[in-house]
Amino acid sequence: MKIITSPKEVQEFLKYKKNIGFVPTMGALHEGHLSLIKKAREENEIVVVSIFVNPTQFLPGEDLDKYPRRLQADFEICKRAGVDLVFTPNSENMYSEDEILIKAPKIKGYILEGFFRPGHFDGVLQVVNKLFNIVRPNRAYFGKKDAQQLYLIKQMVKNFFFDIEIVECKTVREKDGLALSSRNIYLSEEERKRALTISKALKRAAKLSTNIKDIETIKKEMENILNVDELQYIAFVDRDFNYINEIIPNNTIILIAAKVGETRLIDNIWL
Amino acid sequence: MKIITSPKEVQEFLKYKKNIGFVPTMGALHEGHLSLIKKAREENEIVVVSIFVNPTQFLPGEDLDKYPRRLQADFEICKRAGVDLVFTPNSENMYSEDEILIKAPKIKGYILEGFFRPGHFDGVLQVVNKLFNIVRPNRAYFGKKDAQQLYLIKQMVKNFFFDIEIVECKTVREKDGLALSSRNIYLSEEERKRALTISKALKRAAKLSTNIKDIETIKKEMENILNVDELQYIAFVDRDFNYINEIIPNNTIILIAAKVGETRLIDNIWL
């Protein structure tokens, strides 16, 4: 397994390679990432994983400094999963002064996650655009857990005419339902228990939606289940992130963002 | 010679092609464009020319509607120059609603041309980014006449990690010195004569600069020569578009922007 820090070296290494699968990550790899890597391994000749805690997608006051970093363990996980190349750039070789910037779309980049983290998606799209040009993959793997990010990356692929297939991968959960996240390690035992009410509320909503189409009724039921410290949103959107008033079968995503203690968690379910 | 309107078809046509030279234009081709095309023809197996009057780089009130369009004549010129593919997209297949946007760098995208045409470079970079991803050229050809645009495109290539060589091509002039521009057709005979003072002032500045390094002295001399209706700027920058106070040999660009009648003209000289 190759480990490369320099973007130019990655471009040289991959220059004549075909059939490249790419999994961009911020490291602290868990079973969720591993499921993306495994899928990429099945579907491509070359598998590239990037590990980069991208500073431009963190807002001032967010957890950039304490975000978990464990590069050696990540390398081990990648090696065992049959990754061909791990790309570990640093801020110095990814960014320069007075950069050309990318702005997330005015509407869908600034609702929900974009409303609570304004500018977050600008940074996400900025780094993913760079990574796509460096790696030039045939397929790139993203989790459905970051549903709005996934939607915006698909829009970037369309708007920027990237010849890349975006593979949507299902959220991996603990046995009790908690969606895997590198941020789960921030939770105390008590907080972790209450965090479980997020996935429970989503599961309950999915069940209700087979009979009830009215969103307000479902939302109330969800609020009864939730035991969080700050509920930021419960939202119902279609696959293109348009708000909807009624459940549309096969075209609804229900999303929750909430703080449990100091930890901000997001989760969703696709109907 | 192929003529294609659809971005997807261009991507298919070029998919397995190697050694692609690309000349992006807004059409109304003149000898300036032709010199880029000829250079591309010499240096590449496949030559692609795009013709697209990109609406997002025109400001409200600018000449988008009256910008010269003569597609049939352009096709003839391309054919005779041995172009392999002319790409003629339209706004509908290049742009969609609520787009992901590109912002020119805060400083160098908003001085000089960017100051007088705020947002112009956002639109230029937006369309060139799309075109680069559609065509994926090995080399792309730009004229030195649009010096700031050339600088910003080189910065985009760097910031976005495009694996593209930007070939800088020298400004083509009429025998009397007037820099070729599709906008020259707007000039009356009398205006055209006065427009000549722009290239004369630049030529004089270049001559003076062999002895005089002080910019203010040179600038005064230039102002004496110029006979325009609105002088927007005379500027002295280095190759990276940092303002300079003294002529730096082999690293100075002197730029002029001025209106003659209603026509806005730009020109420059590289020392």
The CA-based angle A56-A46-A239, given to 5 degrees, is: 55
* CA nearest neighbour of A47 among A72, A25, A67, A73: A25
CA atoms within 13 A of residue A219's CA, in its CB half-sphere: 16
Q: Is B72 annotated as a binding residue?
A: no
Among the partner-chain residues B96, B100, B107, the one whose CB lies closest to the CB of A98 is B107
For residue B40, give Cα distances in angstroms to B26, B75, B137, B169.
17, 16, 11, 10
> Residue A98 has what DSSP assignment?
S
Q: What is the CA radius of gyration of chain B?
A: 19
- C-alpha span between A48 and A150 (Å, rounded): 19
What pLDDT, on a 0 to 100 scale, did the predictor assign at position B231? 98
Query: A133 vs B160: CB contact, 8 Å cut-off?
Result: yes
**Residue of chain A whose alpha carbon sits nearest to that of B158:** A96
Which amino acid, residue A209? S
The answer to whether the CB atoms of B105 and A106 lie below 8 A apart is no
| Full set of structural domains in chain A with CATH | 2-169 (3.40.50.620), 182-264 (3.30.1300.10)
In Å, how far are A50, A185, B34, B111 from B70, measured between CA atoms? Answer: 47, 63, 15, 32
- C-alpha dihedral over A16, A21, A24, A29, to 10 degrees? -120
Task: Classify B135 as helix, strand or coil.
Answer: helix
Q: What are phi and psi of B23, to 5 degrees?
A: -120, 100
Buried b (16+ CB within 10 A) or exposed e, B201-231: bbebbbebbeeebebeebbeebeebbbbeeb
Please give the ipTM for the structure prediction: 0.93
End-to-end alpha carbon distance in chain B: 39
Among A52, A100, A152, the residue to mutate for chain B (most B Cβ within 10 A): A100
Q: Cβ of A96 and B134 within 8 Å? A: no
Closest CA to B254 of B225, B220, B218: B218
Angle between helices B215-225 and B189-208 (to 10 degrees): 160
Our CA-based measurement puts residue A142 at a distance from the nearest CA of chain B, in whole angstroms, of 19
Q: Each residue of A202-261: pLDDT tens digit?
A: 999 999 999 999 999 999 999 999 999 999 999 999 999 999 999 999 999 999 999 999
Q: Does A141 have pLDDT greater than 90?
A: yes
Check CB contact under 8 Å for A102 and B103: yes
Quickly count: other Cβ atoms within 10 Å of residue B160's Cβ. Answer: 23
Compare CB distances from B134 to A96, A103, A161 and report the shortest one's residue: A161
- Do B140 and B133 touch, CB atoms closer than 8 A? no
A71 Cβ contact partners less than 8 Å away, ≥ 6 residues apart: A27, A51, A88
Closest CA relative to residue B40, chosen from B84, B2, B4: B84
Q: Does B251 touch chain A (CB under 8 A)?
A: no
Using CB atoms, pick whichever of B7, B99, B159 lies closest to residue A99.
B159
pLDDT single digits (tens) A155-165: 999 999 999 99
In chain A, which ranges are continuous DSSP H helix?
7-14, 31-43, 71-80, 91-94, 113-116, 120-135, 147-159, 189-208, 215-225
Which residue from B minimizes the CA distance to A158? B96
Tokens 């002319």 sit on residue? B86
pLDDT in tens, B148-194: 999 999 999 999 999 999 999 999 999 999 999 989 999 999 999 99
- Contact across the interface for B100 and A160, Cβ inside 8 Å: yes
Please give the helix or strand (H or E) that residue A233 lies within, else none.
strand A230-237
- Across A81-107, average pLDDT: 96
Comparing alpha-carbon positions, the chain A residue that sits nearest to B129 is A160
User: Cβ contact (<8 Å) for B156 and A129?
Assistant: no
**Which residue from A minimizes the CA distance to B94?**
A159
CB proximity B4 to A under 8 Å:
no
Yes or no, beta carbons of A103 and B103 under 8 Å apart:
yes
Kindly list the residues from chain A whose CB atom is less than 8 angstroms away from the CB atom of residue B106.
98, 101
Looking at the partner chain, which of B99, B105, B125 has a beta carbon nearest the beta carbon of A159? B99
Closest residue, chain B, to A99 (C-alpha): B105
Q: Which of residues 73-132 of B touch A (CB under 8 A)?
A: 96, 98-109, 125, 129-130
pLDDT digits (tens, 9 = 90+) for A241-255: 999 999 999 999 999
pLDDT single digits (tens) A161-179: 999 999 999 999 999 999 9
Q: Can you say how many angstroms the Cα of residue B236 is from the centroid of all Cα atoms in its chain?
A: 18
Q: Is B183 annotated as a binding residue?
A: yes
- Using an 8 Å Cβ cutoff, are A246 and A213 in contact? yes
Residue B182: predicted pLDDT: 87
What are φ and ψ of residue A220, in 5° steps?
Answer: -60, -45
Instruction: Verify whether residue B120 is a known catalytic residue.
Output: no
Q: In Å, what is the CA distance from B64 to each residue of A239, B25, B61? A: 36, 14, 8
Under the banding of pLDDT at 50, 70 and 90, the label for residue A58 is very high
- For A26-58, give the secondary structure using H, E and C: CCCCCHHHHHHHHHHHHHCCEEEEEECCCHHHC
Minimum distance, in Å, between the CA of residue B257 and any CA atom of chain A: 24
Considering only residues 160 to 179 of chain A, which have any Cβ-Cβ distance to chain B shorter than 8 Å?
160-163
| Residue B7 at interface with chain A, using a CB cutoff of 8 Å | yes
Q: What is the pLDDT of residue B129?
A: 98
Would strands B139-143 and B165-169 be described as parallel, antiparallel, or unpaired? Answer: parallel
**Residue A51: closest CA among A74, A85, A67, A27:** A27
Pair B182, B69: CB distance under 8 Å = no
d(CA A47, CA A1): 10
Q: Which residue has the tokens 């307000």?
A: A216
**B160/A130 Cβ within 8 A:** yes
Interface contact flag, A96 B133, Cβ < 8 Å: no
For B98, the closest of A108, A162, A163 (CB atoms) is A108
The residues, ordered by sequence, that sit 6+ positions from A20 with a Cβ below 8 Å of its Cβ are A14, A44, A45, A46, A47, A48, A135, A136, A137, A138, A139
* Closest residue in chain B to residue A15, using alpha carbons only: B163
Contact (CB, 8 A) for A267 and A199:
yes
Residue A182: band (very low, low, confident or very high) from pLDDT cuts 50, 70, 90: confident
Which residue out of A13, A22, A24, A33 is catalytically annotated?
Answer: A33
Q: What is the reported pLDDT for B39? A: 98
Tell me chain A's radius of gyration from C-alpha atoms: 19
Q: Which residues on adjacent β-strands are paired with residue B143?
A: B169
pLDDT digits (tens, 9 = 90+) for B50-102: 999 999 999 999 989 999 999 999 999 999 999 999 999 999 999 999 999 99
Sequence-separated (6 or more) residues with CB below 8 Å from residue A15: none
Q: Would you say A53 and A67 are in contact if contact means Cβ atoms under 8 Å apart?
A: yes
How far apart are the C-alpha atoms of B264 and B257, rounded to whole Å? Answer: 7
Residue-wise pLDDT for B242-260, tens only, equals: 999 999 999 999 999 999 9
- pLDDT recorded at residue A170: 96
